Amino acid sequence: MAKGVMIVAEQRDGALRKISLELASTARKLADQTGDEVSAILLGAGIEGLAAELGKFGVDKVFVGDNAALEPYVTEAHADATAKIIKDNDPAIVLFGASVQGKDLSARVAAKLATGLATDCTDVKVDGGKMVATRPMYAGKCFGEIVIEATPQIASLRPNVFPAAENAKAGAVTKVDVAVEAQKSKVLEVQKDTSGKVDLTEANVIVSGGRGMKGPDEFKILEELADVLKGTVGASRAAVDAGWRPQKDQVGQTGKVVSPNLYIACGISGAIQHLAGMSSSKCIVAINKDAEAPIFTKADYGVVDDLFKVVPELTAVCKKLVA
């Protein structure tokens, strides 16, 4: 019978991504409820050394598939290897990260195993021996509680929502032979973003601007505040459609759905499709001249004033606070 919780760890350039530790920690919590083991799948080239770190965050056993053909990530090669390791070990629950790679991989693997998948979950628990995964739908306008009527039960977890807590276990390495067939897809180039900014979906702090920013150059004051708070700048659809910010910065139902610790909305009125994308943020600040703006209904702290006066002052205040 299927048993235990397995995670599919994600690494890039030989380093574990933060989501992998969040997965390990969450899997540990679920497995401890039933006294089961946590195992992990780790694929790539020359990555065996990362197993110890997974162990530190609660993983008992790490299946390492080491093959030059698994680097960089190509969907079909990783999906074949991942599905095979899952089949051979028969876990009850498998957790992926809901990162770009994790979403791409988890759906393919679930289809290979003819099972169901709950994507981008913000809570998972075990109830009566079955996983119950809670996930936002309609970009967070409502939530669904998902159960999987097949084995294994698969969920992908939203980055930045589940805590990563140390809980040392063995992290014992089991090497797995991974045969990689000739691939139909080939990564030609990886072009790295050199800004040094964390992606919106993984940022702890987001400073977002909307139509009230009045133009692209005015975002400079948001960049300055974000720099002080080690955050990332986001934008509403209005600001992106006006061409003030690139598409990758858009927060909302047709952009990115984010859950940072702190979300500062500047000059954003709060169209329902924007609110949907950010309302799971832990602390929300709205700065807007219009006291009637819908954004204030979601804000923990509202400042009704001219953002062009408040934001530079706030940057100065924060500079002192974080110094």
Partner 1 sequence: MNIIACVKQVPDTEAQIKVKADGSGIEEGQIKWVMNPYDEFGVEEALKLKEKNGGDVTIVCVGPARAMETIRTALAMGADKGVHISDPAFDNADAYVIANALAAVIKTLPHDIIFCGQRAIDDDAGQVGAMLAEALNVPQLTIVTKLEYAGSSVKVIRPIEGAQLSIETALPCVVTCQKGLNEPRYASLPGIMKAKKKPVDVKNAAAIGVATDAKAKVAKTVPPPARPPGKIVCGDEPAQKAAELGRLLREEAKAI
Token readout for 284 is: 């929300």
Q: How far is the CB of 90 from partner 1 (least distance, A)?
A: 17
Q: What is the DSSP letter of 183?
A: P
Phi–psi pair at 305, nearest 5 degrees = -175, 180
Please select the residue that binds partner 1; options are 11, 101, 259, 288, rule is CB under 8 A.
101
Question: Cα separation of 170 and 168, whole Å?
Answer: 7
Told to check if 30 binds partner 1 by CB under 8 A, we report no
Burial class (CB in 10 A: 0-12, 13-18, 19+), 294: middle
Is residue 284 near partner 1 by the rule CB under 8 A? yes
Tokens of 103: 């979403």
Q: Cβ of residue 170: shortest distance to partner 1, in angstroms?
A: 30
Of 141, 163, 175, 215, the residue at the interface with partner 1 (CB under 8 A) is 141
Query: Which residues in 36-95 contact partner 1 (CB under 8 A)?
Result: 72, 75-76, 79
Q: Interface residues for partner 1 in 242-261 (CB under 8 A)?
A: 247-248, 250, 253-255, 257, 261
| Residue 132 binds partner 1 (CB under 8 A) | yes
Q: How far is the CB of 251 from partner 1 (least distance, A)?
A: 12
Query: Helix (H, G, I), strand (E, B), or coil: what is residue 132?
Result: strand
Do the beta carbons of residue 233 and residue 249 sit within 8 Å? yes
Which member of 271, 278, 288, 293 binds partner 1 (CB under 8 A)?
271
When asked if residue 323 is in the footprint of partner 1 (CB under 8 A), the reply is no
> Which residue lies nearer to partner 1 by CB, 68 or 321?
321
Q: How far is the CB of 281 from partner 1 (least distance, A)?
A: 10
Q: Give the nearest distance from C-beta 272 to partner 1 in angstroms.
A: 6
Q: Within 111-130, which residues bind partner 1 (CB under 8 A)?
A: 111-112, 114-120
Question: Under the criterion CB under 8 A, does residue 162 sit at the interface with partner 1?
Answer: no
Rounded CA separation 147/154 (Å): 10
Residue 309 found at the interface with partner 1 (CB under 8 A): yes
The answer to whether the CB of 208 falls within 8 A of the CB of 235 is yes
Three-state secondary structure of 220-260: HHHHHHHHHCCCEEEECHHHHHCCCCCHHHEECCCCECCCC
Q: How far is the CB of 26 from partner 1 (least distance, A)?
A: 19
Enumerate residues 187-206 that contact partner 1 by CB under 8 A. Answer: 187-193, 198-199, 201-202, 205
From 1, 68, 88, 186, residue interacting with partner 1 (rule: CB under 8 A)? 186
Cβ neighbours of residue 26 closer than 8 Å, sequence gap 6 or more: 95, 124, 157, 162
**What does the alpha-carbon distance between residue 234 and residue 252 come to, in Å, rounded to a whole number?**
10
305 contacts partner 1 (rule: CB under 8 A): yes
Residue type at position 280: S
Q: Is 180 in the site for partner 1 (CB under 8 A)?
A: no
